[in-house]
Chains A and B, each alone.
Chain A
């Protein structure tokens, strides 16, 4: 019987053929924990579960990205304790302050590979689907159990298929496809399900990461882009992992990219999406480019293309927080960074930035932010009385130029 990618991966991990709906215990190939939750997970592992060591020192990655560098003595202390624990446990993979956001880093480091099960203590762990892995976010107790046993329980998910056709028009990009999917599926449209993104073979791994990370915003347990197209050449694709004709999908959402308009998600819910053209004139205080969804080199380059030789609007701030040190280096090497700085943007340490509202540009009451990230919930980036709009990097850059929410076409040469 033909299987979805999620069924194939979970079958492989369970050691037998499994189908959507079954509850199975599977081995985990890679476990990621980050600074924000590591202290609690470590305590659960040792004190509550009574385990002394992690199950496999090569399959655990610890990333300091959520509040990096530390904003308070307390966070600094937690991070120091986490580093000490990594040394004591002899864990191979520690990615410290400035290396970047976990999901981006583990893909860059080639630790996440097609067909793997990657569990992370962060809901955007669906991002590992950018390389065809079954990435999924879990809470602290689940993560502690994985660290202790290398296993976890899972209900084999049904799959929702996004079927894209055509090519993006200028000024439209992967974020618009992702937000459009949220507009159609709504926040719960893929709850308990995996999302498969078809018809996007032409996208880079970075743009696939945009789609994979947004999959949680429609409730997805995983968000998998088939590991085909140009990026597959750099990936270890197992021979058993491929899209099978006749696999059963819960639902298919067709998207015509040739006519797709820039999308915008309005506060305070990600699925509150409209065509950008239908939004009136909204003045913006802060343009924030960053996160695992849209903070990569290609996102900075897309913004730089619009900002080149121009200056951002008076009264509007633009903060750029690269998703990783590799993205930052690439932007520095080819002049993208200089273009952004010359336009008046400023740059933060690679990592999660203000996405979780703890540091590096939190918002004041009444402030309006255009954000390339993935959540616009009330209070997400600081004050509960701030307004967050989610857009592509192209829209963010166009907005920075004018000071109000702007269609890229209106400012593109």
Chain B
């Protein structure tokens, strides 16, 4: 089972990882895993478990281009992020890192702390009350990137961008 971590609208990358905690500013770059939502939600980093799911409001990940924001979420093992709309650069960065993203508004249906199970292959999210929610099907482009584990492994494997004719 995975825990739902619910966030509001317009979560920005300064909230996800403040600039002062950039890997570049840390003595040990692996310490980045201690800092997702360090100020916005201090209980997140110490308690999040691999596979846990973030459910955000509108415009999730707006603000700066810092890839260390989604990277910090990847390092703690976030299993998927679900939001009605993702900010563009965050969407690219998270996709490139291989974090599954689903564009759908579940802020009404899911509660913070709720336990769910997500089947990435089928896109079916099952809640602790047995409710089944079908998440929108990702594009072929996204599936190709996830399957490879991110855009870097994809490029190394195929020598091209997804969807591009070699």
Contact = CB atoms under 8 A, between A and B. Distances in A.
Given A141-B67, A219-B88, A221-B88, 15 more contacts: A23-B141, A40-B24, A49-B156, A123-B65, A138-B92, A139-B96, A141-B152, A145-B152, A152-B161, A187-B10, A188-B58, A191-B59, A191-B86, A379-B18, A379-B20
B67 A188 contact: no
Interface size class of chain B, counting residues whose CB lies under 8 Å from the partner chain:
35 or more
A375 B14 contact: yes
Contacts of A145: 151-152, 155, 161
A377 B62 CA distance: 11
20 contacts: A23-B163, A36-B24, A40-B24, A48-B152, A49-B156, A75-B24, A122-B64, A122-B65, A123-B63, A125-B65, A139-B92, A140-B93, A141-B93, A141-B96, A145-B155, A187-B10, A188-B59, A191-B59, A219-B87, A380-B19
Nearest to A193: B88
A272 to B, nearest CB: 10
A151 B63 CA distance: 24
A40 B63 contact: no
Which 8 A/B pairs are nearest by Cβ-Cβ distance? Answer: A139-B67, A139-B93, A188-B59, A123-B65, A137-B65, A141-B96, A377-B14, A356-B19
Given A25-B161, A39-B24, A377-B12, A187 B96 contact: no
Interface residues of A, number: 48
Contact of A378 (B20, B40, B67, B96): B40
Interface of A: 23, 25, 36-37, 39-40, 44, 48-50, 72, 74-75, 78, 120-123, 125, 137-142, 144-145, 149, 151-153, 187-188, 191-192, 219, 221, 269, 356-358, 375, 377-380, 382, 384
Given A219-B59, A219-B62, A379-B39, A49 B155 contact: yes
A75 B25 contact: yes
A162 to B, nearest CB: 18
B36 to A, nearest CB: 14
B77 interface: no
A48 B67 CA distance: 15
Given A25-B161, A139-B96, A358 B19 contact: yes
B59 A187 contact: yes
A277 to B, nearest CB: 26
Contacts of B89: 123, 137-139
Interface of B: 10, 12, 14-15, 18-20, 22-25, 27, 39-40, 58-59, 62-68, 70, 85-89, 92-93, 96-97, 141, 150-152, 155-156, 161-164
Contacts of B141: 23, 153
Contacts, number: 131
A191 B87 contact: yes
Contacts of A358: 19-20, 22, 25
A413 to B, nearest CB: 39
Given A357-B19, A375-B14, A379-B39, A141 B24 contact: no
Nearest to A137: B65
Contact of B92 (A37, A48, A122, A142): A142
A353 to B, nearest CB: 12
A378 B16 CA distance: 11
B24 A375 contact: no
A89 to B, nearest CB: 20
A140 B67 contact: yes
A133 B151 CA distance: 26
B20 A357 contact: yes
A379 B12 CA distance: 11
B155 to A, nearest CB: 6
A138 B65 contact: yes
Given A139-B93, A188-B62, A25 B151 contact: no
Contacts of A39: 24
B154 to A, nearest CB: 10
B19 A384 contact: no
Contact of B14 (A75, A138, A219, A380): A380
A140 B150 CA distance: 13
A121 to B, nearest CB: 6
Contacts of A377: 12, 14-15, 63
Contacts of A72: 25
Contacts of B58: 188
Contact of B88 (A40, A141, A191): A191
A137 B18 CA distance: 18
A121 B65 contact: yes
